[in-house]
Amino acid sequence: MNFFKKSLILITVILLCASIYNDMTSGSITIDKENKGEVVDGDKYVQVKVLPGQTVLSIVETYNKINSLDVEKIISDFKKLNPQVKPYQLKAYNYYYFPVYQKD
């Protein structure tokens, strides 16, 4: 029984080290600095029901796969789409419009 515990711990440590090495060498997050989005005329927003704990940024990141979005631009576009709403005070279970961007 003691042999199995030691073997399991050894395998876990090896897998952990391999995972850390992989993340440090190849990385798990890609940054594409050339992908700056613009609001698309026509399909420039999506209506979303906000759930507890969600923020403007988290929802915009869900609908936009562009890695380098400017937070100030997102907030500005959100205010244009929802003029009566404060972006930092979203209410759960309400519907809001969120900007959708496309790659240049």
Structure confidence at residue 33 (pLDDT): 40
CATH of the domain at 58: 3.10.350
Dump pLDDT digits (tens) for 27-69: 655 544 433 444 444 557 899 999 999 999 999 988 887 777 7
Based on the domain organization, do 26 and 42 belong to the same domain?
A: no
Question: Is residue 91 located within the same domain as residue 55?
Answer: yes
Residues 43 and 64 in one domain: yes
If asked whether residues 22 and 44 sit together in one domain, one would say no
Whole-Å CA distances, 80 to 27, 39, 90, 104: 36, 11, 15, 21
Instruction: Answer yes or no: do 45 and 10 share one domain.
Output: no
Q: Indicate if the pLDDT at residue 4 is higher than 50.
A: yes
pLDDT at residue number 91: 94
Domain of residue 56 covers 38-102
Cα pseudo-dihedral 92, 93, 95, 100, rounded to 10: 60
